[in-house]
Each structure stands twice: as structure tokens, then as C-alpha cells.
């Protein structure tokens, strides 16, 4: 009988299909997926009530704008079986919200043109050039943000009265365009600082001036930041209350929406349904603008902080 020694190396044999060894690598993956699912469920359970509590006042206001004054405070129900559209007509015509809406639109558009133009130029200079005192300028503008608005109303009104613009929409537009606007300024400066120097060098060799390089080359590239600055200034001018309130005390026909809605509260009674309708009217433009420019807003914030 002959015995043969099996000294040759053996090739490992793969486990048969369907064996437990093949399913072993998928178990950690299943555990990871289950943990992610539990995390998502927990976050949803936490954020959904917060979202409902956050959006409920707006839904309540929308529902109150279609109710009668007797039904506005009749419980927490936001729905009504009958839609009273006459509330909007009463707010637009009798409460003069139509005129206030037009005043606010003129002031807001004018302030956006002035503010975005000046802030973009300042951001271009601060972002593209290094000069003595640059950090001091940024620091002073940043410190101005912490200055309460009430401290600046008196000099602003005095300046506009000196220029004979206090009782006009132009004066209100100039007053709404003031301020440091440090957030928009830093966004423009950070965005322009990231753009390549070769663009400016090539334009300079072609004989382009400072203004032309900014207007034709760099500003079109900063479209996301421009959209962000438009949204920020639109919100500031559209919702401004204290400055228009002071400047329109002697000229009620120049009131803005925020001041006009505030004036709807009477001394002996308040038309709550018309007040809610006027509030909905004031919220529509800013909501539509943000939805339209939302993508550029996110890109502008993300691109400037890279």
C-alpha cells in the first residue's frame, strides 16, 4: 500500500452560494442603515412639532383674513366654511393699503438699486485690492451694526430736512438706503477675493478701465451674491417700521405698509379681519421674491464663505 504525502498547497475553496459566510459583510451595513433610519425618525419626530408651531401663526393669520371679526378669535381653528374676500377689498381700499403698498414698492426698489450698487463697488475694492486702512474700514462698518437704529434717526431726519427731502418718497428712499450693510459688503468682498487675477490682468491689457472691469466682468460673475444682497435689502426696506413711522408723522399719505398696518389698530376698536388681510398682502411679495431667488441666495452664501 502506497501512501502519498499531500505537501502541495491547496487552493482555498469559495463557500457555496447561500452559506452564512457570504452574508456576514452585509450585517454592519444593515446596522448602519437601521441607525440612520432611527436617527431620521427621531429628528423628524422632533422637527415636525417645531415646524408646526413655527408656521401656525402664519396659517392662523391667513385663515383670519377670510373670517369675520366675530369669528377671528373663535378658537384655534384656522379654517372657515365661508371665505370673506371682502376683507381684502376693505383693507385695500378703505384702509388705503393700496397706496401704502405702492409707496413701499417705490422705496424698496429705489433702495435696492442704491444699496446693491454701492455695496458691490465697496466689496469689489475691499476684496480685490490691499491698501492701508482696509481692515480699519471693515472694523468701523462692522461696529456700526451694533449701533441702535434709534440713535441714527435724528441725524438722518435733520439731514433730509436740510436737503428739503423729508416730506417725499425720495427722502424715504435715501433714508432706507443708509446703514452699514456689512453682511452684503462682506459677501461681495469674499466672493470677489476668490476670483482669479488673470481676468483683471487681461482686461487691463485690453485697455479696460476700473469701472468697466467691475461692471462688465466681475459683477456678472457675482450674480449669486447680488441676489443675496437684493433679498437682504428687500427684507430690510419692506419691513422697516421705525424710520418710516417718524418721517411720515406729518405726511400720512407717504406711509409704508408696516406703518399703515400699525395704523389700522384703532383706539376704541380694531378691524381684525382687515388687519389680517393687510398682513397677508404685505407678506406675499417678499415670500415670492425669496422663492424665486432661493437658489441664488444659497449659492451666494456658500460661495462667499469658501
State the Cα–Cα distance between residues 140 and 50, nearest whole angstrom. 38
Lowest mean pLDDT: which of 126-130, 181-185, 221-225, 302-306? 302-306
Candidates 104, 103, 100; CA nearest to 92 is 100
Structural contact between residues 124 and 229, judged by C-beta atoms closer than 8 angstroms: no
- 84: number of Cβ within 10 Å: 17
State the Cα–Cα distance between residues 306 and 290, nearest whole angstrom. 23
| pLDDT tens-place string over residues 116-127 | 999 999 999 988
Show the domains of the chain with their CATH numbers. Answer: 96-259+278-304 (1.10.3720.10)
| pLDDT tens-place string over residues 207-249 | 888 889 999 889 999 888 998 899 899 999 999 998 999 989 8
State the Cα–Cα distance between residues 125 and 114, nearest whole angstrom. 17
State the Cα–Cα distance between residues 22 and 17, nearest whole angstrom. 8
Amino acid at each position: 500500500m502506497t501512501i502519498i504525502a499531500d505537501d502541495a498547497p491547496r487552493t482555498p475553496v469559495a463557500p457555496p452560494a447561500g452559506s452564512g459566510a457570504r452574508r456576514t459583510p452585509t450585517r454592519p451595513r444593515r446596522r448602519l442603515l437601521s441607525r440612520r433610519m432611527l436617527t431620521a425618525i427621531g429628528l423628524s419626530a422632533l422637527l415636525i412639532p417645531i415646524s408646526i408651531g413655527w408656521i401656525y401663526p402664519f396659517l392662523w393669520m391667513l385663515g383670519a383674513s377670510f373670517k369675520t371679526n366675530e369669528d377671528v378669535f373663535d378658537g384655534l381653528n384656522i379654517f372657515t366654511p365661508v371665505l370673506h374676500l371682502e376683507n381684502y377689498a376693505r383693507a385695500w381700499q378703505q384702509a388705503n393699503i393700496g397706496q401704502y403698498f405702492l409707496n413701499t414698492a417705490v422705496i424698496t426698489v429705489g433702495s435696492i438699486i442704491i444699496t446693491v450698487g454701492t455695496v458691490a463697488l465697496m466689496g469689489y475694492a475691499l476684496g480685490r485690492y490691499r491698501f492701508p486702512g482696509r481692515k480699519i474700514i471693515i472694523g468701523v462698518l462692522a461696529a456700526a451694526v451694533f449701533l441702535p437704529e434709534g440713535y441714527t434717526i435724528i441725524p438722518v431726519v435733520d439731514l433730509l430736512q436740510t436737503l428739503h427731502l423729508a416730506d417725499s418718497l425720495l427722502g424715504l428712499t435715501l433714508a432706507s438706503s443708509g446703514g452699514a450693510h456689512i453682511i452684503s459688503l462682506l459677501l461681495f468682498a469674499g466672493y470677489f477675493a476668490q476670483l482669479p487675477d488673470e481676468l483683471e490682468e487681461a482686461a487691463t491689457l485690453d485697455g479696460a478701465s476700473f469701472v468697466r472691469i467691475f461692471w462688465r466682468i466681475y459683477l456678472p460673475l457675482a450674480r449669486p451674491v447680488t441676489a443675496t444682497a437684493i433679498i437682504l435689502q428687500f427684507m430690510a426696506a419692506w419691513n422697516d417700521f421705525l424710520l418710516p413711522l417718524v418721517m411720515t408723522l406729518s405726511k400720512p399719505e407717504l406711509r409704508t405698509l408696516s406703518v399703515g398696518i400699525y395704523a389700522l389698530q384703532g383706539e376704541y376698536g380694531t378691524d381684525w379681519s382687515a388687519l389680517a388681510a393687510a398682513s397677508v398682502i404685505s407678506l406675499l411679495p417678499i415670500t415670492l421674491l425669496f422663492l424665486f431667488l432661493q437658489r441664488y441666495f444659497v449659492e451666494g452664501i456658500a460661495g462667499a464663505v469658501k
